[in-house]
Structure 1
Amino acid sequence: MVRVALILVSVVVLLLAVLWGYQRQLIYLPDTTAVTTSVGRDVELETSDGLRLGAWLVPGQQPARDVAVLVANGNGGNRAGRAPLARALSAQGLTVLLFDYRGYGGNEGSPSERGLARDVRAAQQYLVDSGVPADRIVYFGESLGAAVVTELATSEAPAGLVLRSPFVDLASVGQVHYPFLPVRLLLRDKFPLAEHLAAVKAPVSVVYGSDDSVVPSDQSRKVAEAAPTLKDVVEIPGADHNDAALVHGPEVVAAVVRLVEQL
């Protein structure tokens, strides 16, 4: 009996060790293919640790609103999948910066919480260096990207913050999908979105789908409750996490425009 118990303990320890070592492969799901088609102008970002990241700068159509939207992607794909969002925002007179994190879209490096924080800062700095005032930049974060831009907002204040399908923190989502694991203890990357949001003074809009199977809608509602300067909450009925209505649909675009019109 003791031997059986030892074997079971060894198996559990081995499983937890594997999960510890390979967890980032479960969190980050990049399309590593180099992006060849272009929306707008191809630009390059340089991170503080010397990586060069591919990006697109999409100018706003006339009449321009003199506001730029920095888009931080979720954990999957690459910037090509966000092209419809960029086109829709551009049609509303908004300049849009789409970029890929390290390890995505043909970029060098491997994604991590600290790495993505460096990457989004490079994107924000590019816009500022290009002549866009920091107080005329709206951060748009999609799912994991919502946590990325919220952390950025704690040090580089935006004009406003639009959080699409945000979660309270990464462990809260992980526990939903892996209820049999001690997710909070295992995670190396925390992404404490709600905690960071408490320190953000910029106006905030939260958009989520009622049928989101990746980030449950109650998570996004809790994020809205944590926002000190909440301006708008938009629930898209029947929308799942990757449905077009939630990725680049008219209600998402309208939420961004409403926030911009309040600036």
Structure 2
Amino acid sequence: MFRKLKLRPILSWILAIYLLVGVVLYFLQKKIIFHPEPLTADYAFKYDIPFEEMRIRINDKETLSAVLFKAPAPKGMVIYFHGNARNISKYASKARQCISRGYSVLMMDYPTYGKSTGPLTEATIYANALHMYEVARKFFPPDSIIIFGRSLGTGVAAQLATVRDCKRLVLEAPYYNIVDLAMRMAPIYPYRYMLDYKFPTDEYLPKVTAPVVIMHGTDDHTIPLASAEKLEKLLKPGDRFIPVPGADHNNLDNYPEYGKSLDLALQ
């Protein structure tokens, strides 16, 4: 009896700590997932490649900021969705990789990133991605448009490819879904019910009719290769899953296998 009485306050403290950490995780989820770097409205983008800044007025309170990087005599356009950090002022190197392979690049910032405004919700991000597709269609038909997502942007790219036609869907360092990532970090909470952001790439991928190319570093410590390997099981015949041996999340560019993967994805 005495031992049971002694255990009761210990269990109560454990439960209290569990609930407190869960509440903190719930209210901090946006800060954990997104790492935006805002820019002032008068910020001047500077790149050493031809570009055009685009500001798309969604409504009185929301503006979508994007940059069109221009290739000479492009054979098509890449709609590029970047990762969870910084803004499009930092991604010129990604645009160059596509331009060197003959594609112009259209890149947007998520709400609160760069000059983009509006609520940072999953639905808003998907809606803005659709605006990017509409811009791309003014230049090229669907069979000349490649939808490309990196890291956080892979879920956005996969969703867009389920509702609009494209030449190819390219996913660089993708995740199965955000719930799966959270479970890998602290598998003690019901994240499916806690998270406002799901980005269920696993639900979108089976609905994509276009060819799919997935590239992922084998030593990725941000999004484990195992998360992407679960997506491999959802690929259809003809799709490609390409591991980049030795590469981590942010140094894929340093590996020749990654360049070969881009050659395949952007042919």
TM range (shorter): 0.7 to 0.9
Cα displacement string for residues 88-147 of structure 1 (whole angstroms, at most 9, x for unaligned residues): 21122111011111110132234221121112111111112x332233210010011111
Structure-2 separation of matches of 1:9 and 1:229: 48
Equivalenced residue count is 256
* 3-state SS in 1 of match to 2:163: coil
TM value normalised by structure 2: 0.86
Cα displacement string for residues 34-64 of structure 1 (whole angstroms, at most 9, x for unaligned residues): 46333311112344796212211111234x3
Match of 1:9 in 2: 15
Matched, 1:33 2:39: yes
| Deviation (angstroms), 1:148 | 0.6
Q: Does the C-alpha gap of structure 1 residues 148 and 68 become closer, same or farther in structure 2, counting only changes over 3 Å?
A: same
Match of 1:78 in 2: 87
Structure-1 separation of matches of 2:261 and 2:200: 24
Q: How does 1:97-246 map to 2 (within 5 A)?
A: 97-128=106-137, 130-245=138-253
Q: Is the 8 A contact 2:154 2:172 kept in 1?
A: yes
Structure-2 separation of matches of 1:158 and 1:84: 23
Q: Does the C-alpha gap of structure 1 residues 69 and 171 become closer, same or farther in structure 2, counting only changes over 3 Å?
A: same
Over the residues paired in the alignment, what is the CA RMSD in angstroms? 2.3
| Deviation (angstroms), 1:83 | 0.9
In structure 2, the gaps of 5 or more residues are: none
Q: Does the C-alpha gap of structure 1 residues 231 and 6 become closer, same or farther in structure 2, counting only changes over 3 Å?
A: closer
Structure-1 separation of matches of 2:67 and 2:259: 19
Match of 1:20 in 2: 26
In structure 1, the gaps of 5 or more residues are: none
TM value normalised by structure 1: 0.87
